Amino acid sequence: MKNLFNVEGKVVLITGGSRGIGEMIATGFVENGAKVYISARKAAPCNELAERLSEKGFCVSLPCDLSTTEGVNWMAEELGKREEKLDVLINNAGAAWGEPIDDYSEKGWDKVFNINLKGPFFLVQKLLPMLRKAASEGAPARIVNTASVNGIEPPALETYAYSSSKAGMIMLTRHLAKRLAPEHILVNCIAPGPFPSQMMKETLETMGDAIRASNPLGRIGEPEDIAGVAIFLSSRASGYTTGACIPCDGGSAEV
């Protein structure tokens, strides 16, 4: 029972790992002894974070654009050169796009869906051989997808592609979980509420007080909140949990 949340030595890939929620999760895994690889579209912040986290443990930067087939293939090949197996894949890379409904662009819609839904599915597909090598009945491999409370409850902002893609991520999680359970690969997702991130920066600057006031816990998320859920879903503690969507939002999606 003392080792229920142990992730020491696990090989973990975190997409969108250079900032925001991805950085919070990466920090939690590194500080708990995991072997962490992070990826992001922008190389500079990804490399900088990996350098900082390497002072605390193992962290390697593998920057690429995972919204493209080329990026997904590159990641699978590059990670395969470095590791024989993958214990945990965390699909966290995400994008948002907001425009009035009368002007909402195809460009914005496609960008969001490519990053938020298409990329994660095909990354799972390409990394399945490494996940299968890590998987066993006693120690399943894990896929943890980042959805959003906006995939559960419609947001006030006009971010139609974002909310739709995150709702899709919740169903994709359930579908993958059903398909991969017999292979001892557990698939779950986290639905974060407001956290201090680049994506939420403008919203928190203009509506932060109102968001805090409307949250049942009266605050926005902190790094330990999201890292704790991710570690739970990657450890023995969740060994009988698959196909679940766990809100991490202070209760705002449940009231």
Active-site residue list: 162
Q: How far is CA 105 from CA 98, 159, 168, 192, in A?
A: 9, 11, 19, 26
Tokens matching residue 50: 């990996």
- Asked if 196 and 220 touch (Cβ cutoff 8 Å), the reply is yes
Report long-range pairs for 120-126 (Cβ below 8 Å, ≥24 apart): 120/15, 120/66, 120/91, 120/93, 120/145, 120/169, 120/172, 121/172, 122/69, 122/72, 123/15, 123/66, 123/72, 123/75, 123/76, 123/89, 123/91, 124/89, 124/91, 124/176, 126/72, 126/73, 126/75, 126/76
Residue 247 CA to residue 203 CA, distance in Å, equals 20
Nearest residue to 231 (alpha-carbon basis) of 24, 45, 39: 24
